[in-house]
Structures are given as C-alpha cells and as structure tokens.
Amino acid sequence: MLFINQFRTRFLALCLVTILFGGCESTSSDVVSFIPPPVSVGLRSGDGIVVSLQSIPDASSVPVQIDDRGIISLPYIGQIEVAGMTESKIAEKVRAAYIEQNIYPSIDVSVSVTQRFIHVGGEVIRPGRVLWSPNLTLNKAIQEAGGFNIYGKKSGVLLTRDSKTYVVDLKSALRNPDKDFKVYPGDSLNVPRSPY
C-alpha cells in the first residue's frame, strides 16, 4: 500500500510539473523558415495616392489618402470605395464614375501610390506606422520603429499577413540575412515581451 501511495504521489507531481512548465518554453518548430508573399498587394486604409485626371479641360492631379473605411473622395463624384484594389483597378473605377455621372463624356485617369505603410507594435521604442519601401525587411522595419526596447523578445516576433500570423526569429536573421524576410504593405509586426 505504501508503494502505491508513493507511486501515485510521484506520478501526480510529474503531471503537475509537466503542466506548469510544458508551455513555458517555445520550441524551434514554432519559428517559420518561409513566409509566403501576400495574396494581394491591394491598397489599404492609410495609403496615399495621387489620382490624375487627364484629357479634360480642367486636368488635375488630386492627392488623397484612403480613409479608415477604405474610401477616397474626389471632386464632383464624391466618395469611392477603393480598399483592396490595385492602382489600375482604382483608375478604371474612377474613370467609370466620372462618365456614368455625366461629369465628363471622356476622361483618362491614372493612379500612382505616394505612401504605403506597415504597422509595428509591441515592445519597440516607437510603436506605430512605418513607411513602406520595396527593400524593407523585418529588421529594418523594427529599426524604423526605434528598435527593440529592453523588454523586446527578438526570437518570437509575430508577423501578421493576410490574416495569418507567423513567428519569426530575428536573432537568427541578424546572423543570416536570408532569414530577414521582406515585409509588404499592410503587414503587421508585433514584438512580444520577453519573460526575462
């Protein structure tokens, strides 16, 4: 009977230790070695564009920013929803709106991007929006946000893209540039707090 009680006590203690400490250590299998490019690089809220209206008597270029609802506002036609669209699709939609509302019988429209952003949050010096450029990588984006603060966990940075979240080890990316993935407009980085 004494042997059974000792066995039961040890078994329960082992179970408790496993439960308490099993989830505290992250495994390297959580960290990804590949992140797929975004499904769509369509424009998003906060992006800045210039809409050029041409082949009309009062040709103009209108700088606008896509608002929180994904909408831009243009002369004579008002608000147009553009979130998720490419520059060429926006140009088509704007052209169609001017013609359908009988503002102009014919018009040429072109759209160019002036500013696109990613978001960097968590344990960095200056969390918030970071201006995107084609060569922006994870490490460069964090540096643009002031770098890691003293609590930032470099081995568990979270990258959210197309509603999926990936865990990235930026410690190893500093040693191996191939692991310093490019970021794309609309990506979101979150630096978690280190437990120590």
Q: Tell me if residue 5 falls in helix, strand or coil.
A: helix
What is the model's pLDDT at position 126? 97
On the question of pLDDT at 46 being above 80, the answer is yes
pLDDT at position 134 over 50: yes
Please tell me the CATH code under which domain 48-114 is placed: 3.30.1950.10
Delimit the CATH 3.30.1950.10 region(s) of the chain: 48-114
Location of each CATH 3.10.560.10 domain in the chain? 29-34+116-191
Quote the CA–CA distance of 11 and 6 in Å, as a whole number.
8
Which string of DSSP letters, residue by residue, matches 142-168? Answer: HHHTT-B-TTB-GGGEEEEETTEEEEE
Residue-wise pLDDT tens digits, 76-133: 999 999 998 999 999 999 999 999 999 999 999 999 999 999 999 999 999 999 999 9
- Please give the CATH topology (third level) of the domain spanning 29-34+116-191: Outer membrane lipoprotein wza fold like (3.10.560)
Q: Which residue is it, tokens 């969390």?
A: 127
pLDDT for position 104: 94
Residue 194 clears pLDDT 70, i.e. is over it:
yes
Average pLDDT over residues 39-46: 82
pLDDT at 25: 36
Percentage, residues of the chain above pLDDT 90: 63
| DSSP H or E run through 93 | helix 87-100
Q: What is the pLDDT of residues 5-42, one digit of tens each?
A: 444 445 444 444 344 344 333 344 467 777 888 877 78
Percentage of the chain beyond pLDDT 70 is 84
